[in-house]
């Protein structure tokens, strides 16, 4: 039975990844300090003999007894509301946390996957964004703590691959949504859904013309699993290339929830990307992966989850 360590395993993505790994026959060791994760996300796994939860901050020395085959490094605040509130922790988990997780991979001769982000592209001047694009990031802006933490983490991962021969994978995750997102997450979809369900004004930043490409969580996890099991070592985009404006997304969610909410516009945050769309040619060719859950189906599932959790 393969043994997988998932850092940030009690978070939105980490918990869904843990589900997939258990289903694939892995024994899972979930490590999380619960800064933004929640035991509620993994409660259903606690009864499984192949699942272990360890409360630990990966920026501190990381030790796991026994054999480890795979390390999935997902620990990090991931929404603007979190990393603006926790800037130092975000930088530390991207640097010290990645260093510790890579050190564990080296010690255990385990394969390592870094959960990176489309934010490494910043406010892109290339559209859609291919993996070869180096990005347009403001390192001293408020979002720089997350963007640069992930860019550093990618550089560290490649250094361990080239210098120490560690088997590494890097996934650049584009906007993802689904069950277990926090209501107060601060990202567009949970904010729009919770506002619409509560009959509050739905807040759109700027004029709503900025675009995103949103991927349902099960599609994303499938792509990430395939990447880990592949032989591809360079960064790979995983996301849904179907682009839409934030105004369109808000309107779709209001319609889906049968809400009477009105849309109100607020000032655009500093360095907020105007466009975001993954070029997934590599994932299609190398992983034979592309998303298959429609936005309508994915949003319906997410809305139903929020209905029972608000």
Active site residues: 146
Would you give the DSSP letter of residue 169?
Answer: E
249 cis-preceded (ω within 30 degrees of 0): no
Q: Which residue has the tokens 């139903």?
A: 304
C-alpha distances (whole Å) from 259 to each of 218, 295, 307 are 27, 18, 13
Distance CA 215, CA 115 (A): 15
Q: Which helix (H) or strand (E) holds 111?
A: strand 111-117
How many residues does the structure list for the chain?
310
Q: Which sign does the torsion angle of CA 187, 193, 198, 199 carry?
A: positive
- For 51, list phi and psi in degrees, rounded to 5: -125, 130
- Across the strands, what pairs with 238? 173
- Across the strands, what pairs with 53? 30
H and E: helices and strands count for the chain? 10, 13
């Amino acid at each position: 039975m393969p043994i997988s360590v998932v850092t940030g395993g009690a978070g939105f993505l980490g918990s869904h990844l843990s589900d997939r790994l258990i289903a694939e026959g892995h024994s899972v060791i979930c490590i999380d300090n619960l800064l933004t994760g929640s035991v509620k996300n993994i409660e259903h796994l606690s009864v499984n003999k192949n699942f272990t939860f360890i409360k630990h901050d990966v920026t501190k020395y990381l030790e796991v007894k026994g054999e480890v085959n795979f390390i999935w490094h997902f620990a990090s605040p991931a929404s603007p509301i979190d990393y603006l509130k926790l800037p130092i922790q975000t930088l530390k988990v991207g640097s010290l946390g990645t260093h510790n997780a890579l050190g564990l991979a080296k010690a255990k001769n385990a394969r390592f996957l870094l959960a990176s982000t489309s934010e490494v592209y910043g406010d892109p001047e290339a559209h859609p964004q291919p993996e070869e694009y180096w990005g347009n990031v403001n390192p001293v802006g408020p979002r720089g703590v997350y963007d640069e933490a992930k860019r550093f983490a990618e550089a560290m991962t490649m250094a361990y691959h080239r210098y120490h021969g560690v088997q590494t994978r890097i996934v650049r995750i584009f906007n993802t949504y689904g069950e277990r997102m926090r209501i107060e997450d601060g990202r567009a979809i949970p904010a729009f859904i919770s506002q619409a369900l509560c009959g509050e004004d739905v807040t759109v930043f700027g004029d709503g013309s900025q675009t995103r490409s949103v991927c349902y969580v099960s599609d994303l996890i499938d792509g990430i699993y395939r990447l880990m099991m592949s032989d591809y070592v360079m960064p790979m985009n995983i996301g849904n290339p179907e682009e839409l404006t934030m105004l369109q997304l808000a309107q779709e969610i209001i319609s889906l929830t049968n809400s009477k909410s009105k849309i109100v516009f607020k000032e655009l945050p500093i360095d907020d990307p105007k466009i975001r769309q993954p070029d997934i040619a590599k994932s299609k060719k190398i992983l034979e992966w592309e998303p298959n859950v429609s936005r309508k189906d994915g949003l319906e599932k997410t809305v139903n989850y929020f209905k029972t959790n608000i």
